[in-house]
Amino acid sequence: MEQITIRNYINGEWVDEPGVNYVNLDNPSTGEIVGRVPFCTEKTADNAITAAQAAFESWRKVPVAARTAYLFKLYDLVQANYDDLAYTISYEQGKSPVDAHAEMVRVVENIQSACAAPLVIQGDFLENAGPGIHGEVIPQPLGVCGLIVPYNFPAMVPFWFLPYALAAGNTVVLKASEQVPITMQKIFRLIDQLGLPKGVANLVNGDAKVAGAILAAPDVKAVSFVGSTNVAKIIASSCAATGKRFQALGGAKNYFVVMEDAKMDQVLKSFTTSCYGCAGQRCMAASVIAAVPAVYDQLKDSLVAEAKKLKVGDATDPTVGVGPVISAAHKEKVLKYIETGIKEGAKLLLDGRSVELPEKNKNGYFIGPTIFADVTPEMTIAQEEIFGPVVCLMKIDNLDQALKQIKEHQYGNGASVFTQNGYYAHKFMQECDAGMVGINVGIPAPVAQLPFGGVKNSAFADIKAQGRDVFSFFTTRKIVTSRFFPED
């Protein structure tokens, strides 16, 4: 892939901000420079917001079926460029080809779901609410919506929001992650082919300055964010202070509970994909495996054996199961967590700190599958989100203890239980203090037609991402009471 210079897309044009600094982009599998991204100022964000605000009044009046027609066209363009986009995700983010293609599946699903807008955003009518009085509820778009997205899913996460916002009649300013802007650059090249009115969809690049401008702008009526919990709290408080709607999705520490009657072959199959997919850099990754005594010792040996089967290497290699983490800085962060786990007394069963790699990947940011055993709930590696291929194996007495630990944890994004026992399954489903729950499913991430989001410090929002629910976020419900008198 040739080196690329990232540009902004504002008011239907590809534009640059003069005089700004450019930062190199590197391939995490090799460390090689693959492009450069501008760290734009508030000026670029303000220009995009101005364009989006100017486009809003006419865009909101476009019939909803006509708005979704653009999304049908986008669906076709994404499908036609599916393999290239998946390769780009692997190339710039470090996901294995399997994980990159899985991400693209969700992009396509979300476009399809947003195309249901003509059915989903219909209003309500109450005849004879009073004598001669009728009541109506009319869903209407909000205005300019700001989208601030993370590095770990450069295609999927933006599509939790973007197609729904447009279908509902809003205009959009999207800030791509400065670490992985190439995928969204390519997607906006497809959006540029749709013939959308100028200013309806805008792309800006930069760091916290650009995000801050989106938060500060009075014309931005809603913000959707995915990232760390610390930043999510800032997003939520800033939006609350200025009267903006917000979805601020944060971190996670997901439990993977194994009961004595679990189908062990399915546990092991789910373990590798859930814990080591995306090199552990996803909010749905299982990072604490809690097992009852009857299977704990067996599981220790089996998990290590399965993890050793995974090939670590270049993310564009179809035979690779675990690619690199995103950057040298993040690699150092994960390595420090491994050191902390050792110091706190956890037993390092599998050490991924030194993996054998081809010469071309020696400068990549690789950490192999890592497993700690005898982890206890108070340990740092059990409390904090590592966001890497590090697994904590913990012994629990019973299901009640697992549920108690999940409830007491600061995060509540996802959790899964593996059991054939209906009582266990229903108890877990009802009592597990997490936003997304799996029963014999290692990654309980819902399909695009269902809402996505956690609880506690994993999400600061009343309305979750994607699916039918997100239309409620991108619309306001106007209530009309009307009465007409007979002519004299």
What residues are labeled active site?
A: 283
Contact in structure between 375 and 339 (CB atoms under 8 Å): no
In whole angstroms, what is the distance from residue 248 CA to residue 260 CA?
A: 37
In whole angstroms, what is the distance from residue 216 CA to residue 51 CA?
A: 16
Q: What are phi and psi of 185, to 5 degrees?
A: -60, -45
Tokens for 436, please give them: 């997304």
In whole angstroms, what is the distance from residue 488 CA to residue 434 CA?
A: 62
Contact in structure between 444 and 437 (CB atoms under 8 Å): yes
Look at residues 374, 453, 457 and name the one whose alpha carbon lies nearest to residue 408: 457
Tokens for 480, please give them: 């009309």
Q: 427 burial class (0-12, 13-18, 19+ CB within 10 angstroms)?
A: middle
Q: Are strands 286-291 and 133-141 parallel, antiparallel or unpaired?
A: unpaired
Look at residues 76, 59, 93 and name the one whose alpha carbon lies nearest to residue 277: 93
Contact in structure between 46 and 205 (CB atoms under 8 Å): no
Look at residues 36, 296, 20 and name the one whose alpha carbon lies nearest to residue 178: 36
Phi-psi map region of 336: left, alpha, beta (phi>0 left; psi -120 to 50 alpha): alpha
In whole angstroms, what is the distance from residue 226 CA to residue 147 CA?
A: 9
Question: Please, which residues have CB within 8 angstroms of residue 21's CB and are 6 or more apart in sequence?
Answer: 38, 39
Tokens for 28, please give them: 């995490």
In whole angstroms, what is the distance from residue 227 CA to residue 247 CA?
A: 11
